[in-house]
Structure 1
Amino acid sequence: MSTITPHTHEPDDHPESLPGGAGTAVRPPRLIHTEATTEIPVHLLFRDEPAPEARRPAVVNRRRGTGEQPRTVRPAQVRRRPELRPDPDLQERPARVLPGAAGVLAGLGGVAGCVATTWWAGVLPGAVPGAGLGAAQWAAYAGTGALGLFGFGGLARGRTGRAWVLGLFGRYRGTVRRTGLLWINPLLRRRRADVRLRHWRSGAVPAADANGVALRVVVLVVWRVRDTARALLGIEEHETYLRECVESALARVPVELPGGARSGADAAGDALTRLVAADVAPVGVEVFSVQPVRVEYAPEVAAAMQRRRIAALDAQQRATMLSSVVDSVEDTVTRLTTRGLVELDDYERKALVRDLTVAFCSARREPA
């Protein structure tokens, strides 16, 4: 193992003459000699400046000739919040449908086929005896009947603001947003979705203000379903999920009572809108606004906070009234002395100020 042998240069006993004629001694810098390094100035070992983060990581206990690898100090890694990523395969796409006229024609064709088969079999009253009900007739009945049921059974009416989410054997087959009379494959499962702009007024949701005082907040949420596939198939109940996201956002954003700064109320509404919109976007819901419409203290702290608020308003009213009385007294005394109506010494001035203050305070406390 290598050893570090400090080696210093002793200063000369005789001072050296400098060009300026001053006889001062010049000492060489103190150095350390080692087997593995070159000469290192001692003052570089005791620097107070912190090493910048952009430099190389510090090497700990590296010894030459021992085969030991340097150990670096790695910065602590900050764990990020996991992002909610929707299923890329579950995305709204238009479904294949036919105009309603095609279904009507198919249904009428099936009915006409059944009537023709009946005439062929001679079953109609007053008809010429036919071939009877044999295997061919029953096969014709089955085909024409299936055609009629398939045609009339697939008719659907599309409405504005409503959509159909179609599925077959548990697989998403598309969304129908068209309006009017349509024909949809009757074998597909239909789930209706409301894609209109909607609003939801919540109940009293627990919240807190900037000081941590418990509140009850009622919010108004304006939202709509943007992606029907993710809203109906990607989550069990998107309306329940929206309510839970609103409660979660109110637990993270402080809300102010009515009567506070307007900018603070707007900032709380904007923060709530951003948080809720970011939480519900992966499930196909679009949020436009989340605004508190009623804010009140929680029942457990309502009485105490109401007394505190009344006391603060009373103190503010008293301070305002006192300032008004003092201004009135000062204006009165100044006018009397300036116009020469009275000549007052210090004692008389103090007495006049006291009497005027009592009179003005009594007049302001009397009810109108």
Structure 2
Amino acid sequence: MSTTTPQTPESEGPPRSPRLIQNESTTEIPVHLLFRDEPDAASVPLKPAVVARRHGTGEQPRLRHPAPRPVPEPDPGLAERPARVLPGTVGVAAGTCGLAGCLATSWWAGVLPPVLLETLTVPASSGTGLGPAQWAAYTGAAALGLVGFGGLARGRTGRAWVLGLFGRYRGTVRRTGLMWVNPLLLRRRVDVRLRHWRSEPMPAADASGVALRVSVLVVWRVRDTARAVLGVEDHEAYLRECVEAALARVPVEMPGEGSVATAGETLTRLVAAESAPVGLEVFSVQPVRVEYAPEVAAAMHRRRIAALDARHRASVLTSVVDSVEDTVTRLTMRGLVELDDYERKALVKDLTVAFCSGRGETSA
């Protein structure tokens, strides 16, 4: 009895492979959509794919660079400019003229005291007293004297005046000597000398996050008086806050454990950048005293002592091993002794004990 194998029709083609994903769903795509030759077909813009973190795969998300911090910028039109002042001789002359006018008006009215008449060697006037004309002359002469003497000011080296009128900036005076300034202007004195400030202990941290207390020495000066006085409420307090903020971002190492100069350069760069918009010029910010915070001081001191002791023991052990090796090598190479393995081990042991004891007594 012969068995007949069923033949596959040629129209069916080769058998399909089984699905690799059992729950997949597919849709047939018409062939005319795969090959489109229409020139007027509008292209569909494709957006860049966004790769996010896939849960369970261990893939880390892409790191995004933080946005740059905004730089504080005061009023753009606020910048130092020289104020208009006159030499001090002008004020002295105006004040003298006003005083002379008051004396002349008193003589004209006949109210000048006899003592002044004798002192000035002038004849007595037959004035009829103070009338409207005399009072007007008094007012003009007194106003001239007050404006002349009231506007006198003395400029000093290293000091400047910031002038304002009814809340408006009118200029800065950096001149020295006697000068005349409009007495209606509000004057604010600013120290423009090179100054240094040593801070009180401020909170900081090292590269490992250990709490520290750091005192820094800041060398600075006022470069733009208008921005320093009018652009910020208190430029000295602003500088202190900038230093404290920089210490919170820059790790500082204890002396002997890291480079303090690197921390100083970073602090100087940060504080100078933060202080420049308000007219301050910072030359140096250097840590002068670094110590552990009170809450971790005892533990960190014990840790440092233990590390120093371990380092000392390691150096002593290294020197002892080198000395033992040198001694055994010399004895063997010169033929003074012939040692087998047991005798060599015993000699090494005795020499190690002897050298360690000697080093211990020397250290004590």
**TM tier, shorter chain?**
0.7 to 0.9
Structure 1 unaligned blocks of 5 or more: 1-9, 14-30, 40-54, 61-75
Q: Could you say what the CA RMSD is over the residues aligned between the two structures, in angstroms? A: 2.3
**Structure-2 change in CA distance of 1:190 and 1:300 (3 Å):** same
Which residue is 1:314 aligned to?
309
**Structure-2 change in CA distance of 1:291 and 1:58 (3 Å):** closer
Which residue is 1:93 aligned to?
81
Which piece of structure 1 moves more, 127-136 or 298-307?
127-136
Which residue is 1:288 aligned to?
283
Which residue is 2:246 aligned to?
249
Q: What per-residue deviation string (whole Å, max 9, x for no partner) do you get for residues 255-296 of structure 1?
A: 1000123xx322211111111111111111111111111111
- The one of the two structures with greater contact order (alpha-carbon pairs below 8 A, sep at least 6) is 2
Q: What is the identity, as a one-letter code, of the residue corresponding to 2:315?
A: T
1:337 deviates by: 1.5
SS in 2 for 1:36: helix
1:130 deviates by: 2.1
Whole-angstrom CA distance in 1 between matches of 2:286 and 2:145 = 53
Q: What per-residue deviation string (whole Å, max 9, x for no partner) do you get for residues 328-354 of structure 1?
A: 111111111211222222111111111
Which residue is 1:346 aligned to?
341
**Structure-2 change in CA distance of 1:275 and 1:138 (3 Å):** same
Whole-angstrom CA distance in 1 between matches of 2:198 and 2:46 = 57
SS in 1 for 2:133: helix
- The alignment covers a number of residue pairs equal to 310
Q: What is the identity, as a one-letter code, of the residue corresponding to 1:186?
A: P
Q: What is the identity, as a one-letter code, of the residue corresponding to 2:178?
A: L
* Residue number among 220, 223, 226 corresponding to 1:223 in the alignment: 220
4+ runs deviating over 3 angstroms: 10-13, 31-37, 76-80
Q: What is the identity, as a one-letter code, of the residue corresponding to 1:132?
A: G
**Structure-2 change in CA distance of 1:351 and 1:284 (3 Å):** same
Which residue is 1:211 aligned to?
208
Which residue is 2:177 aligned to?
180
Q: Does 1:115 align with 2:90?
A: no
Preserved contact between residue 154 and residue 179 of structure 2 (Cα < 8 Å):
yes
Whole-angstrom CA distance in 2 between matches of 1:34 and 1:155 = 97
1:37 deviates by: 3.4
Q: Does 1:145 align with 2:142?
A: yes
SS in 2 for 1:288: strand
* Residue number among 148, 166, 170 corresponding to 1:169 in the alignment: 166
Calculate percent identity across the aligned residue pairs: 74
SS in 1 for 2:130: coil
1:77 deviates by: 9.9
**Structure-2 change in CA distance of 1:302 and 1:77 (3 Å):** closer
Preserved contact between residue 83 and residue 172 of structure 2 (Cα < 8 Å):
yes
Whole-angstrom CA distance in 1 between matches of 2:65 and 2:284 = 36
Which residue is 1:190 aligned to?
187
Q: Does 1:57 align with 2:55?
A: no
Whole-angstrom CA distance in 1 between matches of 2:126 and 2:143 = 26
Structure 2 unaligned blocks of 5 or more: 1-10, 15-27, 37-44, 51-63, 118-123
Q: What per-residue deviation string (whole Å, max 9, x for no partner) do you get for residues 195-231 of structure 1?
A: 1111110111000000111111111111111111111
1:36 deviates by: 3.2
1:57 deviates by: 2.5
Which residue is 2:4 aligned to?
none
**Structure-2 change in CA distance of 1:266 and 1:136 (3 Å):** same
Whole-angstrom CA distance in 2 between matches of 1:232 and 1:144 = 36
**Structure-2 change in CA distance of 1:230 and 1:326 (3 Å):** same
SS in 1 for 2:291: strand
Whole-angstrom CA distance in 2 between matches of 1:358 and 1:59 = 71
Whole-angstrom CA distance in 1 between matches of 2:286 and 2:334 = 59
TM-score normalised per structure 1: 0.79
Which residue is 1:106 aligned to?
94
Whole-angstrom CA distance in 1 between matches of 2:125 and 2:292 = 88
1:56 deviates by: 5.5
SS in 2 for 1:145: helix
